Amino acid sequence: MLRHLVLAATTAALALGSASAFAWGYSGHGTAYTSRGTYNGAHYGSCGGGSCSHGGAVAGPYGGVASNTGTVTRTAPGQFSNSGTATGRYGNTVEHSGNTNCAGGTCSHTGAMTGPDGKTATTDGSVTRTAPGQYSSSGTVTGPNGNTSTHSASTSCAGSTCSRSGTVTGSDGGTVTHSGTATRVSTGVVTTSGTVTGVHGTTVTTGGTVVTGGTVVAGGAVATTTGTAVVVAKPPVVVAPAPVYVPPPPPPVAYVPPPPVVVVPPPPPQPVRVVVAAPPVVYVAPVPRPAIWVPGHWVGRVWVPAHWA
Q: pLDDT tens-digit profile of 260-297? A: 666 666 676 666 565 555 666 555 556 666 667 778 77
Q: Is 152's pLDDT higher than 80? A: yes
**Is a pLDDT exceeding 60 seen at residue 172?**
yes
Least confident of 26-40, 45-59, 140-154, 254-268: 254-268
Mean pLDDT of 34-53: 91
- The domain in which residue 63 lies consists of 2-239
pLDDT at 56 > cutoff 90? yes
Which of 53-57, 107-111, 136-140, 184-188 has the least mean pLDDT? Answer: 184-188
Number of domain units in the chain: 1
Residue 227 belongs to some domain of the structure: yes
pTM for this prediction: 0.58
**Residue 70 counted as domain residue:** yes
CATH code of the domain in which 152 resides: 2.40.160
Residue 247, in any domain of the structure: no
Question: Could you tell me which of 39, 37, 43 has the C-alpha nearest to residue 14?
Answer: 43
- Residue 218: the pLDDT is 38
Which of 147-151, 154-158, 261-265 is predicted least confidently? Answer: 261-265
The average pLDDT across 228-249 equals 46
Q: Is residue 64 part of a domain?
A: yes
Determine the Cα–Cα distance for residues 110 and 122; give it in Å rounded to an integer.
8
Residue 46, pLDDT score: 93
What pLDDT shows up at residue 282?
A: 57
- Evaluate whether residue 87 is within a structural domain: yes
Compare 264 and 13 and report the one with higher pLDDT: 264
Q: What pLDDT, on a 0 to 100 scale, did the predictor assign at position 300?
A: 79
- Amino acid 229: pLDDT: 41
13 confidence band (pLDDT: 50, 70, 90): very low
More confident residue, 266 or 139: 139
Domain-located, residue 262: no
Q: Is the pLDDT of residue 302 over 50?
A: yes
- Range in 146-150, 202-206, 264-268 the model is least confident about: 264-268
**Residue 53 CB burial class (10 angstroms; 0-12, 13-18, ≥19):** middle
Q: What is the pLDDT of residue 120?
A: 95
Residue 160 in domain: yes
Residue 142, pLDDT score = 95
- 52 to 19, 20, 80, 86, 308: CA distances (angstroms): 8, 11, 11, 17, 169
Which band of pLDDT confidence, cut at 50, 70 and 90, is reported for residue 8? very low
Inform me whether the pLDDT recorded for 12 exceeds 70.
no
pLDDT at 227 over 50: no
pLDDT of residue 25: 74
- Looking at per-residue confidence, does 108 or 187 come out higher? 108
Residue 298 in domain: no
